[in-house]
Amino acid sequence: MIKIGNAVPRFEDQRLLTGQGNYTDDALAESDACMVLVRSPVAAAKIKSIDFQEAKLAPGVLGVFTSTDLEADDIGHFTTGFPFKRPDGNEMYRPRFGLLAKDVVRFVGDPIVAVIADTRAQAEDAAELVHIDYDDETAVTDAKIALSEGSPTLWPDAPGNLAFVVERGDKEATESAFTKAAHVIALDLRITRVTANPIEPRAAIGSFDPHTTRYTLRCGTQTPQRMRDTLATDVLKISSDQIHVVTPDVGGAFGMKNSPYAEYGLVLWASKKIGRTVAWRASRIESMQSDFQGRDNHIHAELAVDAGDIFSAIRVKSIGNLGAYLGPLTPHPPTANVGGMIGPYGIGAAHIEITGAHTNTPPTAPYRGAGRPEATYVIERLVDATAIDLGIDPIELRRRNMLKPDQLPHLTPLGMHYDSGDFPEILSKCVALADWAGFEKRRAQSADNGLLRGRGLAYSIEIAGGPQGAHQPETTDIRFADDGDVTVLMGSKEMGTGHATAYRQILSDHLGLDPHRVTVVDGDTDTIPTGTGSFGSRTMIAGGTAVVRATETIIEKGKALAADALEAAEIDIEFSKGAFRVAGTDRAISLHELRKRVGDKLNIAVTEKADGPTYPNGCHICEVIIDPDTGVTTLERYVLVDDVGTVINPMIVKGQLQGGIAQGAGQVLMEQIVFDPDGQLITGSFLDYSMPRADDMPLFDIQTHAVPTHLNPLGVKGSGEAGTVGALPALVNATLDALRPLGVTHIDMPLTPERVWQTIQEAKK
């Protein structure tokens, strides 16, 4: 038996690390047809003509299809359900996001023609024979420029490229606070566009059974049930039970695999069309062009401070780059999690205005944090700038403004309900762990070696499992076998994040089960028809709640059944360590023995939800070293103390926090999707798009400080995105601290050697 809180190695790692993983592409059979897409080589153009006659006659070709074929079969398109509006009060325009472009292409990589052949090589050769004549138009890839007068318009029904304007908070109260402020600190911030780059690129295998008239889709996704429903309702226009989605191992997702894609609908439709299973797999370059991307914001932020150095209000104007189309979740990241801009502080008023803009780029969608890293970046950059402007120690300024434990629960002016935490204590623990007092000695030692050393601090708080994730239910189905094995069916989806181990620990702790005899099954919509999936750090919040409620039901049912078996009153039955006992006696029956006696009566399926979202929070302190001659910035030290609530498995939590920090550090130090003025993707491969390696990261010093929440039975708060949320501002604050002696007061991500070196040279002038 293992308990919650034990740092046990992940059960799934033996299989995954010895080459026994089961990924989408592993199911490809020699008999499967292969699909290759002809994508637009330009970012903006009218399609004058498509000539695919030569391609249709190429060896092995089974079909060449365009949007005309889709329309003939009444195939639908993706849409978004967000009810946002334009400034005139009208609902935002929802562009038609079809499986293949029709008449106009709007970003490099926009799919136009699907070529299907016996083999991938044959499909690729035939795709080369498709001739498309374009009438090029002017592209715009920067959201701020797209909104400016005179920029080319992507959609006639979205004039000025303006999709929506969303406001949060109280504008009048905020303006009043700014009028009375003793100090106002303002920053213009750029949060760059990045992409997820999972180890396993997107892939899909689709088949249609003419006898059952059912489709089967095999693909890597975080949300199999939602994928099924969207493809059924919006694309194929059939009932959900006519699609079976199978998601095996997922080689990384990070939010990017949360949404349905055109290729998934195409392999299903094409399978019915040609009478064969159809497979598609993205190349890495194709992934760079067509995966939904993340972040990409222009932000103007201001913080009002009163005469006692207390934060009184924050106001922010943010422009989010939505890309050319609106995917199902595209409007979510720039709008849903802006509440984190309040931080852990008692700010009294806030007003946030978010503008969504269309550009000739791939659509954006959730990427690890989905707006929360952006929000924390805003407030923590403002707080550091305020400390410098007022000449106050950044720790002292934060302490003065932090909410105290006795002030919680607290409703922020942006509608977040902080239910629990101890922000000042976590700050103090992190400061001590980071040896804050010894920094100046380390800075002097670096200076002796001709290097610049800087220190950065950020305190992050985020909403996890929300705004909707925690309130959406999750399903578990626990089934006992005669031989003592237990199968747990989950509506959540494992993505390499240790869910199977965590669920085993919960069941072992609550029911006394042998974790080695528990099998966790997920990712099959026929086996588990209902479920919400895994995103927004919700899995242990929602899925864990379902498992705990199921164990409680099993125990209650078991007591009644055990009372009959032990010939005792039900009120006298106790349960502990995997057995039911008559209180005060040695008479007992194990859960396994009871199962053999009563058959399937102990099996239980429940769909449950937590009482609300949670608020993981933590303090990040890091140090960087800059070589002024080369501009190379090295992350030297990183300390994190985080409150993720109850820690089910410390090893998994630390792994999640480490991975999150590395992903945030990657964006700060090197990662960026870059387009040229014509919309061509400059960073189209790993030769151009840099990502952090192990030797770019220091040994992280991570500790947890649990203040369990009462909003779910486990007291968990979520850890999947916490590392990323605080990493962005901590690293940029550290870099600015290193450069400040040279007179540098601002620098934008990514902090590439070239950018840092140029900043140093300009400062010297």
Block residue for tokens 């528990």: 518
Nearest partner of 416 among 470, 353, 473, judged by Cα: 470
CA dist 276 and 207 (Å) reads 7
CA dist 226 and 238 (Å) reads 14
Three-class DSSP category at 255: coil
Block residue for tokens 């242990």: 540
Q: 445 in a domain, yes or no?
A: no
The side-by-side arrangement of strands in the sheet containing 183-194 is: 162-169, 349-358, 311-323, 294-305, 183-194
Token duo for residue 364? 């954006």
Query: Taking a C-beta distance cutoff of 8 angstroms, is the pair 57, 130 a contact?
Result: no
Nearest partner of 421 among 655, 638, 614, 609, judged by Cα: 614
Query: Taking a C-beta distance cutoff of 8 angstroms, is the pair 104, 93 a contact?
Result: no
Query: Taking a C-beta distance cutoff of 8 angstroms, is the pair 653, 644 a contact?
Result: yes
CA dist 357 and 362 (Å) reads 12
Q: 596 in a domain, yes or no?
A: yes
Token duo for residue 395? 């720790």
Nearest partner of 22 among 248, 295, 266, judged by Cα: 248
Query: Taking a C-beta distance cutoff of 8 angstroms, is the pair 511, 1 a contact?
Result: no
> Do 488 and 593 belong to one domain?
yes
Would you give the distance in Å from CA 598 to the centre of its chain?
Answer: 43
Q: 482 in a domain, yes or no?
A: yes
> Do 370 and 486 belong to one domain?
no
Over its C-alpha atoms, the chain yields an Rg (Å, rounded) of: 27
- Ordered DSSP codes for 474-485: EEEEEEE-TTS-
The residue out of 365, 388, 411 marking a domain boundary is: 411
> Do 395 and 487 belong to one domain?
no
pLDDT of the residue at 467: 60
> Do 483 and 395 belong to one domain?
no
* Cis ω before 413 (30° cut-off from 0): no
Which letter, b or e, does each residue of 665-696 get, where b requires 16 or more Cβ atoms within 10 Å of its Cβ?
bbbbbbbbbebeeebebebbeeeebbbbeeee
Query: Taking a C-beta distance cutoff of 8 angstroms, is the pair 162, 147 a contact?
Result: yes
Q: 602 in a domain, yes or no?
A: yes
Q: 352 in a domain, yes or no?
A: yes
> Do 393 and 519 belong to one domain?
no
**Residue ranges making up the domain that contains 491:** 467-608
Query: Taking a C-beta distance cutoff of 8 angstroms, is the pair 218, 181 a contact?
Result: no
> Do 382 and 499 belong to one domain?
no
Residue 78: how many CA atoms within 13 Å on its side-chain side? 24
CA dist 740 and 687 (Å) reads 32
Please name the helix (run of DSSP H) or strand (run of DSSP E) that holds residue 512, with its range, or none: none
CA dist 366 and 374 (Å) reads 12
Q: 546 in a domain, yes or no?
A: yes
Cα distances (Å, whole numbers) of residue 407 to 391, 423, 445:
28, 11, 42
The stretches of 181-326 forming alpha helices (DSSP H) are 224-230, 262-274, 284-290
Q: What dihedral angle (degrees, nearest 10) is formed by the CA atoms of 455, 461, 464, 467?
A: -130
> Do 480 and 576 belong to one domain?
yes
Block residue for tokens 């039975």: 713
CA dist 394 and 128 (Å) reads 59
Q: 490 in a domain, yes or no?
A: yes
> Do 171 and 313 belong to one domain?
yes
DSSP3 helix / strand / coil % (the chain, rounded to 5): 35, 25, 40
Per DSSP, the chain holds a count of helices (H) and strands (E) of 20, 28
Number of domains within the chain: 2
Residue 488 CB burial class (10 angstroms; 0-12, 13-18, ≥19): buried
Task: Give the domain CATH number at 555.
Answer: 3.30.365.10
Block residue for tokens 């030769």: 687
The residue out of 371, 390, 411 marking a domain boundary is: 411
Task: Divide the 765 residues of the chain into consecutive groups of 10 and give the mean pLDDT of each group.
Answer: 94 93 93 97 98 98 98 96 93 96 98 98 98 98 97 97 98 98 98 96 98 98 97 98 97 94 98 98 96 98 97 98 97 94 98 98 96 97 98 97 98 96 98 98 98 98 75 92 95 94 97 96 97 94 97 97 95 95 95 94 95 96 98 98 98 97 97 97 96 95 97 96 97 98 96 98 93
> Do 393 and 478 belong to one domain?
no
Handedness of CA 532, 537, 540, 545 (dihedral sign): negative
> Do 472 and 597 belong to one domain?
yes
Residue 554 CB burial class (10 angstroms; 0-12, 13-18, ≥19): buried
Query: Taking a C-beta distance cutoff of 8 angstroms, is the pair 490, 503 a contact?
Result: yes
CA dist 457 and 730 (Å) reads 5
Cα distances (Å, whole numbers) of residue 385 to 177, 731, 747:
19, 14, 12
CA dist 54 and 438 (Å) reads 72
Query: Taking a C-beta distance cutoff of 8 angstroms, is the pair 146, 140 a contact?
Result: yes
pLDDT of the residue at 472: 87
CA dist 607 and 589 (Å) reads 28
CA dist 622 and 626 (Å) reads 13
Block residue for tokens 């040229």: 676
Query: Has this prediction a pTM greater than 0.75?
Result: yes
663: Cβ contacts below 8 Å, ≥ 6 apart:
254, 368, 723, 724, 727
Q: 339 in a domain, yes or no?
A: yes
pLDDT of the residue at 418: 97
Are β-strands 214-219 and 588-590 bridged in parallel, bridged antiparallel, or unpaired? unpaired
pLDDT of the residue at 470: 47
Are β-strands 111-117 and 162-169 bridged in parallel, bridged antiparallel, or unpaired? unpaired
> Do 304 and 370 belong to one domain?
yes
Would you give the distance in Å from CA 91 to the centre of its chain?
Answer: 27
The stretches of 393-532 forming alpha helices (DSSP H) are 394-401, 423-433, 439-448, 499-511
Residue 377: how many CA atoms within 13 Å on its side-chain side? 33
CA dist 189 and 195 (Å) reads 19
Token duo for residue 283? 């190349």
The residue out of 545, 577, 608 marking a domain boundary is: 608
Three-class DSSP category at 534: coil
> Do 471 and 402 belong to one domain?
no
pLDDT of the residue at 468: 53
